[in-house]
A and B are shown apart, each in its own frame.
Chain A
């Protein structure tokens, strides 16, 4: 089906998020939408999907103007969407989430859960995804939730499919599988819109590229363009795609984890007897397919996991079993993998979110009252420094674009005195220009003598930042290898294959 958007305009108060955007996607075409954080990509797609009503403009399918009053109409017209912010019901199982809205039923309206399970398994197999249809979504790490969100969209045979940053938390292998599926769908005549910040993917799979900046279409690009060309078209300036970092100046052991075991609330051992050390001034990157214990390990470092055995020492002092409050005060910076769930309060302002973990005392709170002036100053400077695109520091965080929300979390965590930085998916959904900046900030923290633990499914990010790389599989450490280890070796290790142990442990 051919999709045409004509002169779509969408305003949020004074902000024009989409300014007369026109876009045409032919059947059998993968059309990539590029643009900085806050450029208006998700907004445009939400208009298409009937979630937002546009202020003006037209949507045409095969030349016929459409009137969508809600997502139900858009879906009925054959449009499907993978949402940037997952639209999953946390306390439902995977199968229930996938079937919701088009449930297969037996006599009397009873759900046919078996059919839903089969559907999930069938699509998951096509991808090479490993997914239990009966797992509760709230128990799944974001990478796995992403798989569910994709399967949900694919389960409905849409003719027009929108993928809004589906690869932000997928591993390279999963991304390749997904791109394979996208090609299959294209070849069977679907029109596909693909939003991503990863230029490799764009060049690999896109047939056409449209670039949006500040709500306007600024141009088209050909998939043969180089990364640097694409990046500069997006951001409007030249972008350094490589992180410059000096060899590490290693200090003493900052973080020492030994024989750490984490048990989740089902009683399963999710981290199994793990030991490692991170020195001051060193970045240890944890790689691995999501769902192999990385999430729980980072949470245990912040005291967020309840059932933990073994020891965690920070500068030689045992901290396991301490409260989160205590650990934050001790200088642990934490970037959670799921910013909406754990990192931000959507109904609080940008400024309030920036002081969220320092709400109990100096410098922002004196005698129980918030020092508004100080907070405003601080927030303004951080918003400028981290290039958070927002209408103002009083804006509710939930109205920020995905990448800008991420920048708020990063800004908060990096603007304290740190003794340890734990960052899970630090650049999730962030545009190339800001990735560069965030990487520089993480390297700066390391050079200031902070031990840093980074968890990322993105191997480029792992290689760019890591002084050493630790690979996890099934809750175990497969190995700890030098930062320069090749992608293919890492890939093997991520599948659980043991390498000869690297430099240090």
Chain B
């Protein structure tokens, strides 16, 4: 047996008598890898310029000139900055301090800019379109992720997000087509999403069917049902039933005039504004209010919650229903939010990606939202680059959103733990 006094992987260093937290090495390692890649890119870069466009159209109130960056020098500058950041991260590790979040954010942004410069050589990158599109792609994901967070926090795995999104999209299309009032479609979509949530709750809470199985079955069922109704009812009567009136963008005065940020965040539809509100409300509610405390208690230790008089089953039921309503609202984005008619399987697995965002976001509404936004950004980056034509093979580009999400999460998110009773039925003894 060898003499091991402290573990090599987790050295403990003492500073002034007290020991600081053991710190993870992930961040410096990821930083190093990115820096190496940046240097390689700088070495191999083709000469030329990359342009960044800051305005969408000549109608924008504030017109900013395009910015032209010479590829080689820019990449070198970025590589050096990244290297400095990496050194700083290693230094923090040596003194057992965490790498601050702002550094990770700045580092990530620099790396992305570097990538854009490298990939967009000889082209103009429409920044507003890139970011705005990213936000749009993320909207249903954010709603879905919130629904997932609420579900898991209260102890029910909400696999049926996909079904809730899809049924919301479907209902919204019909209601908006029939009434010509897209605003009416919002509550209607919430109701259908809620119904899907309640079916999930009824089977898993009352009949104790495995939650994952019910969720998957619901997804298949709703896909089948909407596809059937689509081809049997919507297609023949497309004029009456499937020409949804689109939600108008409502520019927010003043805020929408800010360059870049304005058009991206504040010239959106009500669905997007409601999303901002929903994220804030869920985040504050979950951790600061009685509703959230009880909800989390039920998801962590239902018996303890029961012994203080909280009704476990009905808490779960109503919160799963609420989650369904939120996802249903997110579903409206596919149809009336984008002005597109309903189509078979138009959610295309977004519900599952939302679920992934829940886990990547450590069951936290804000972090899950960030994960969803990151995914949206990577997806839209892929769109934008394939439109302007970039040197990267398109097969690789299609992988980009997934690769980026996995890397960001695996590399930078710390250890996480699901709510203890998530997925477990509560049976009184």
Contacts and interface: CB of A to CB of B under 8 A. Distances in A.
A100 B305 contact: yes
Interface string A61-94: 0000000001110011000010100011111100
A308 interface: yes
B25 interface: no
Nearest to A52: B429
Contacts of A101: 294, 305, 308-310
A110 B289 contact: yes
Given A100-B294, A306-B10, A90 B301 contact: yes
A329 B217 CA distance: 46
Contacts of A70: 306, 309, 311
Nearest to B8: A321
Contacts of B285: 109
Contact of A321 (B6, B20, B22): B6
Contacts of A111: 288-290, 293
A91 B300 contact: yes
B420 interface: yes
B293 A307 contact: no
A4 B420 CA distance: 37
B289 A108 contact: yes
A114 interface: no
A269 B301 contact: no
Nearest to B307: A87
Contact of B20 (A92, A267, A317): A267
Contacts of A46: 429
B310 A72 contact: yes
Contacts of A92: 293, 296-297, 300
Interface in B276-319: 285, 288-291, 293-294, 296-297, 300-301, 303-311
Q: Considering residues A83, A307, A319, which has the most beta carbons from chain B within 10 angstroms of its beta carbon?
A: A307
Contacts of B294: 100-101, 103
A99 B293 CA distance: 10
A71 B3 contact: no
Contacts of B429: 46, 51-52, 399
The number of chain B residues touching the other chain, given as a range, is 35 or more
Contact of A87 (B6, B19, B301, B311): B301
Given A111-B290, A307-B12, A321 B304 contact: no
A450 to B, nearest CB: 20
A263 B7 CA distance: 13
B18 A267 contact: yes
Contact of B290 (A49, A72, A109): A109
A87 B308 contact: yes
A51 B301 contact: no
B1 interface: yes
Interface string B255-291: 0000000000000000000000000000001001111
A76 B311 CA distance: 13
A290 interface: no
A89 B304 contact: yes
B7 A321 contact: yes
Nearest to B308: A101
Nearest to A109: B289
Interface of B: 1-7, 10, 12, 18-22, 285, 288-291, 293-294, 296-297, 300-301, 303-311, 420, 428-429
16 contacts: A87-B308, A97-B304, A101-B309, A101-B310, A102-B309, A109-B289, A152-B308, A263-B19, A265-B22, A269-B19, A306-B7, A306-B10, A309-B5, A310-B5, A317-B1, A322-B1
